[in-house]
Structure 1
Amino acid sequence: MLDVAVIEDPAAAEVSLDPIRARLLAELAVPGSATMLAAKVGLPRQKVNYHLKALERHGLVELIEERRKGNVTERIMRATAASYVISPAALAEVQPDPSRAPDQLSARWLLALAARLVRDVGTLVTGAAKARQKVATFAIDGEIRFASAADRAAFAEELAGAVTTLVGKYHDQTAKGGRDHRIVVAVHPSITTRAVDADTSDLPMKE
């Protein structure tokens, strides 16, 4: 079982978003049969079987064992991943495109950028899995508390300068056998247990 799987096919995305099927996927982090699942989700076994077949057709669950019980063969299924991410590629015609909203201070541009990140890394992960290879990636995730909007703006300026310096140091357009990499750096307000901060009056970022 994978930690995370990427759903790129629109039909598979539709199947996964059904509430009952999403519940079955969650339950199948631990292998189980239709009979076992029926007791957990409160549905008839036949109905569970119907949903399992739909999930199996789209590669979201897999058969790991068959057990013979009298005249009945019990199929033990398992989700193919512990969690799933739906790629924007599943909405090919309307997927976000950062180039359509190039304002780098816009929250919507950041959202489009993040969507592209999910799509591109998802494509790399899917291709690497088929080739039985790994994808070379690196990411930093942290949190910082700014005392003021001025501090945040100064931080953003220094961060941009540091990244530009590093890119200038290591980028080699003429390197034979080199491989292009995309770098994404983002800063956004943290989500708290309260409602999303409405204090945007002093932010240099736009909605």
Structure 2
Amino acid sequence: MATPTAPDDEIARDISLVDDVVVARLLLDPLRSRVLAALATPGSASTVAAELGETRQRVNHHLRTLEEHGLVRLVEERPRRGLVERIVVATSDAVLLAPSLAGDNAPHVRPDDRRDERLASRYLLAIAARLVSEVGDLARSARAAGRPLPTLTVDADVRFATAADRAEFARRLTATIHDLVAEFHDEAAPGGRWHRLVVAAHPRPTRDLERTAVPTVAPASDPVDDDDLAHDPSDHPTHRPTEETP
């Protein structure tokens, strides 16, 4: 008997953080990675094999392995020529390998790095690795609890005319953040919750320079009923809030 097909809005998903060495190794297999990518939409061993130009038996082996490790899930079972065709789909839109997979070689945040201009990029990468690990863990816990995770991402491109302008921008941005933190930080508030605030900037890669984009400012959005964000910045072209996991 066929099980109900999941609606399109339930086939989904987000980015899964992979911190298990065994699963990470599975994903490094080129064909298995292609099979997983092909299952962004529901499919069977037969349909994926046809798409990739591989044998059904070979694809089915990889499908079973992916399902055993939670990378794909069953959507539907269909009777077909006296057999049962299993329709599966990827459990995430994408996977991200956790920095912790590097073990003792993973980047660690060392406060002294920010005091040394020569190590500024190392400090930024260590902060980025910590962000990936922490948000990935929080998102996973939130999904398991069926609760949203209030997060905010601000992403913009800016082109400075001179190094002096860049330095002035950094000075004023730092001062503004300092003032905001001083105004809203409250260690004694009952029911308060700690948050991390990360602000980073780096030169845009050369390969992206041909795709120049000047950020535009949209009108402020209407307030929404949310305990964590007073306004929904999704209407702003440079603000991309996400809500996933507490």
AA aligned to 1:13 is A
AA aligned to 1:179 is R
Kindly tell me the number of residue pairs found equivalent between the two proteins. 195
- Of 93-102 and 72-81, deviating more is 93-102
AA aligned to 1:142 is A
Q: Report deviation, 1:6.
A: 1.9
What is the alpha-carbon distance in structure 1 between the residues aligned to residue 74 and residue 111 of structure 2?
43
In structure 2, which of residues 58, 61, 65 is the aligned counterpart of residue 50 of structure 1?
61
Q: Structure 1 residue 187 and structure 2 residue 198: aligned?
A: no
- Percent of pairs with identical residues: 44
In structure 2, which of residues 125, 137, 140 is the aligned counterpart of residue 126 of structure 1?
140
Q: Structure 1 residue 167 and structure 2 residue 167: aligned?
A: no
**Aligned match of 2:42:** 31
Q: Which runs of 5+ in 1 are unaligned?
A: 196-207
Q: Report deviation, 1:24.
A: 1.2
AA aligned to 1:9 is D
What is the alpha-carbon distance in structure 2 between the residues aligned to residue 72 and residue 141 of structure 1?
50
**Which aligned pairs between 1:50-199 and structure 2 lie closer than 5 A?**
50-99=61-110, 102-103=113-114, 105=117, 106-193=120-207
Q: Which runs of 5+ in 2 are unaligned?
A: 1-11, 210-246
In structure 1, which of residues 18, 24, 49 is the aligned counterpart of residue 29 of structure 2?
18
What is the alpha-carbon distance in structure 1 between the residues aligned to residue 112 and residue 23 of structure 2?
29
AA aligned to 2:98 is S
Q: Report deviation, 1:103.
A: 2.9
1:42-65 deviation digits (Å, cap 9, x = unpaired): 221111111111111111111111
1:53-82 deviation digits (Å, cap 9, x = unpaired): 111111111111111112321111100111
Q: Report deviation, 1:14.
A: 1.7
The normalised TM-score by structure 1 is: 0.88
